Structure 1
């Protein structure tokens, strides 16, 4: 296992190793447990990811996948349902608005924000001739520009118009790696992570992510680490180097999902 580059990260890892039964391991899906692919519908967990999670989960308080995808889609693409060792896995989908628990196999979700339906109806007119692919998540809509002739140019050109469309209907735009997601405010990975830490009473946390949407979770861990009372040590892992803002705040930078999976397996072995 590689040593975190920062003092806070080393403290976080030490806390996990000292009291693993009180540690939360929380992970993004796309770009962290699964490689980024041109078609999001083809994303699948990296080889070895499920086995690594199944080896680690019984040794810690909880393992949670926190993703912008619908919870049931993330469960299906990750291949984690019914896996021995993952009986208490939780998937927090739509940035925490949805929740799937392995113990019941059920998804709990609120009613969609009314602005999502309005945006869905107007979106084709805003996208025009741009070569994009729209992922309908039910509670949110994600516009991918990865298929465009110039993906970054399309992303930059659409950011303003999509922001205006979202604002008209009470939504916000969450930018990512060549994707712009229109979703309700108040849904973010930081809120989801903090609430789950409190729910299970975790005394340490590991969070791994790869994209701008993970910055909120990073901020949550940073805040938990410096609470006046009951501080929660944490380890922040960055998967890949495509988002400099994330890499600059990470305690440990890994090359991508393959190295993240190897690290999780190494942690499980260390706790054996």
Structure 2
């Protein structure tokens, strides 16, 4: 699909924003990510000016997002929509069976010893096998996680991402999270905007496209998004211009 720069936006729209690779640059490890005060101010202002119609929709857990955001309190969808905090502060959770997750984690233990470049992140509802420090193991990591998910026979699927293969319950994703938010105030009735950079964001793009909203892919790569921004800095500038227009 041919993409171009997104149009000038409005504070009357509903904003759904990925975090890593979209609002902040991807770090060597998930724990090394850092949210600067300038971004925190931008998020807080956009949340206020949009009347609260802004949510972060991330692969990170909600608890991890809260750690990054500090005192900021806003709607959050974590672990690709498996957990979601709405505008009223209510928490919704879609969980895999603990037995299946435990079995997969145990099977990965000797693999992590054999390949120290791999990193297993237990997010609570999902298991993410990162190969950022061992990109040559990409095919192996995806094949292994796919086999473990299939063997578990518990309705699991592998969600690919940037140098990560993540096992999660099937049928719930960033697109379903966006759909759920848009049924609720203050998102309901607004034109949706979804900004992301990764394969797991394609679900969000597809849902927003279906609703004739604004889907924005960050960086290079094939995507169903209708618009594109080159990098994190460009995303921040675009969001900042929304606020300038409201002053």
TM-score interval w.r.t. the shorter chain?
Answer: 0.7 to 0.9
Offset at residue 72 of structure 1 (A): 1.1
Aligned to 1:186: 171
In the TM superposition, 1:220-239 aligns within 5 A as 220-225=207-212, 234-239=213-218
CA-atom RMSD, angstroms?
Answer: 2.3
Length, aligned pairs only: 238
Contact 2:120–2:130, Cα closer than 8 Å, also in 1: yes
TM-score of the pair, normalised by structure 1: 0.79
Secondary structure (helix, strand or coil) at the match of 2:41 reads helix
Aligned to 2:67: 76
Distance 2:23 2:233 in 1: 8
Aligned to 2:238: 263
Aligned to 2:34: 44
Contact 1:65–1:92, Cα closer than 8 Å, also in 2: yes
Offset at residue 36 of structure 1 (A): 0.3
Offset at residue 251 of structure 1 (A): 3.3
Structure 1: runs of 5 or more not aligned? 226-233
Secondary structure (helix, strand or coil) at the match of 2:24 reads coil
Change (3 A) 1:45 1:252: farther
Secondary structure (helix, strand or coil) at the match of 2:211 reads helix
Distance 2:111 2:71 in 1: 42
- Aligned: 1:54 with 2:37: no
Structure 2: runs of 5 or more not aligned? none
1:219-259 deviations in whole A, cap 9, x for unaligned? 1011112xxxxxxxx11122222xx123xx33332222222
Aligned to 2:133: 147
Distance 2:174 2:36 in 1: 22
Distance 1:110 1:186 in 2: 10
Contact 1:35–1:45, Cα closer than 8 Å, also in 2: no
Aligned to 1:121: 106
Higher helix share: 1
Distance 1:33 1:73 in 2: 15
Change (3 A) 1:217 1:147: same
Contact 1:237–1:250, Cα closer than 8 Å, also in 2: yes
Aligned to 2:189: 202
TM-score of the pair, normalised by structure 2: 0.87
* Runs of 4+ more than 6 Å apart: none
Aligned to 1:229: none
